[in-house]
Structure 1
Amino acid sequence: MLDLTTVIEAESRRFADAIAQAAPDAAVPTCPGWTADDLAWHLTEVHGFWARVLTSGAQTDEESEAVEAAGPTRPGSRAETMALFERATGQLLEALAGAEDATPAWFWLATDRTVGATRRMQAHEATMHRVDAEAAAGLDSAPVDPRLAADGIEHAFDVMWAWWGTQPGCSFAPGASRVELVAEDTGHGWLVETGRWQGVGQSGKAYDVPGARRVLAGTPAARVTGSAEALMRWLWGRGDEPAASGDAGALDPLRAARDQGMQ
């Protein structure tokens, strides 16, 4: 079983090493509009925020908003940013090391407000942003552990895209087709149904965006096959589409959901 806290530590170290090799204004191809220094500040903010969530004991939306408001302002130099990154990462790792996964803690997905949700999220966030930093620096991307990649596929559907379901008045409208993802190296398979997140929120804002979620049964109209890492990188917008077969039309909604991107 993977130690996700160790993953966060290792990937954060790789992230810092890659950032050091990228020009401050280098574009991040996988995060359009961001520079390498923007990326460095983003992960610094993320690590600091979740460290404060865990150490403060925040469990409600209001408490998390207060934690966010208490965050530092962006430093004026990369050196200052990376020094803050090191402190924030250390604080996050310390908070995670001292807590069990089942311990209650605020998380933006109301169905899993636990320390474990934060640990899992930050393992994937650190990994994907390490990939982003390598792209900005023009480096060959280091591999992702197949076990982490397989979990990252599930995380994409169950957490990242499930975010739409947290919006008031928004629900999932399934489409007619299902798609299977097959990881040849780990033996995992995931059956998903595509559709759209639709609804009108309390503010009157309408939602109608492509989405996908995992299901337990059904006959797939199409398949995407590759290594767990290749599938994960593709779903997270950090890699090309692996080999696809079957009904191309059935794959289009999944491609549309993927093309929305994940930060």
Structure 2
Amino acid sequence: MDPLAVIRSESDRFAEVLAGADPQAPVPTCPGWDARDLLHHLAEVHAFWAQVLGSDVRDDEGVEALEQAAPPRPDGVEELLALRARATDALLEQLGALDDAEPRWSWWPPDQTVGFTRRMQTYEATLHRVDAELTAGLPPSPLDPEVAAGAVEHCVDVMWGYVPDWAQDDSTAVVELVATDTGDRWQVDVGRWHGTGPESGTEFDMARARRAGQEPDPALPTATVTGTARDLALWAWGRGPRSAVRIAGDADAVAAVDRLIEQGIQ
């Protein structure tokens, strides 16, 4: 997989689809957004990460400075399309010049490297291209199986795993995700975190999941989720129907998985 080629092709397809869509069409996978919001989002994301990489941002203060200096959002579709093109070019220029191991800020504390941004933007561009096609009333075009498997792995290792330091963390079950076309398997500890936010006083009860171990253990899973890498990726990221994958096993484990997916990815 060439991440830069994936980001380029998926971002260009994203823009091509939205250029012909109704600007006010709702985005079915991002409630409250219309096509213009989606177009601006990817442009903003690419511009932001290009600046993080290019300006060697390594801390929250640097990120805050970038956010405060962000230009106002354009209103017109043509302006948004031009902004997206420039932002993608800038992001790819930085990713092409930097090694994965070089330190840079990211929102995921365990991985403060360029490599995190490269992986995240590969999957973000791909899934937002799917959003664009759904917004335009088109069936999602294919996902490369290697990209799809990587997107599932990113959910397992990053997107589902947030637990605040102050929260109580409870495990419910170990579930195995099985990609029938690539042979990839992921064992995932699915559970919940809950408690009272120390600053807000708000009560939380949220689903979470994380890798159960580096090596699969046949004795651990009490449920399985089976499908092609594409179907697993779309399901995991909230872009595909539950019916596209086969979920079987213990009722509590299945319910925990369903809750995780229904909660969605922010």
The TM-score normalised by the length of structure 2 is: 0.93
Mapped partners of 1:9, 1:239: distance in 2:
23
Alignment of 1:90-101 (within 5 A): 90-101=89-100
Match of 1:159 in 2: 158
Are residue 233 (structure 1) and residue 234 (structure 2) matched? yes
**Letter matched to residue 259 of structure 1:** E
* Unmatched segments (≥5 aa) in structure 2: none
Tell me if structure 1 keeps the 8 A contact 2:19–2:81: no
Deviation for aligned residue 1:18? 0.9
**Letter matched to residue 222 of structure 1:** A
Deviation for aligned residue 1:47? 0.7
Mapped partners of 1:73, 1:254: distance in 2:
40
Q: Secondary structure at the match of 2:264?
A: coil
Mapped partners of 1:154, 1:127: distance in 2:
14
For residues 21-53 of structure 1, what are the alpha-carbon distances to aligned partners after superposition, in whole Å with 9 as ceiling and x for unaligned? Answer: 210001111111111111001111111111111
* Unmatched segments (≥5 aa) in structure 1: none
Mapped partners of 1:76, 1:34: distance in 2:
14
- Greater mean deviation of Cα atoms: 191-200 or 50-59: 191-200
Q: Secondary structure at the match of 1:33?
A: coil
Match of 2:212 in 1: 215
Match of 1:195 in 2: 191
In structure 2, relative to structure 1, the CA distance for the partners of 1:22 and 1:171 (3 Å cut) is: farther
Deviation for aligned residue 1:205? 3.6
Tell me if structure 2 keeps the 8 A contact 1:168–1:202: no
The TM-score normalised by the length of structure 1 is: 0.94
**Letter matched to residue 138 of structure 2:** L
Percent identical residues: 49
Which portions of structure 1, spanning 4 or more consecutive aligned residues, are displaced by more than 4 angstroms?
none
Equivalent residue for 1:172, pick from 169, 172, 175: 169
Deviation for aligned residue 1:179? 1.1
Match of 1:75 in 2: 74
Q: Secondary structure at the match of 1:66?
A: helix
Alignment of 1:3-42 (within 5 A): 3-42=2-41
For residues 164-200 of structure 1, what are the alpha-carbon distances to aligned partners after superposition, in whole Å with 9 as ceiling and x for unaligned? Answer: 23x452353212x221111010111111121112244
For residues 99-121 of structure 1, what are the alpha-carbon distances to aligned partners after superposition, in whole Å with 9 as ceiling and x for unaligned? Answer: 00000000001110000000100
For these two proteins, the number of residue pairs brought into alignment is 259
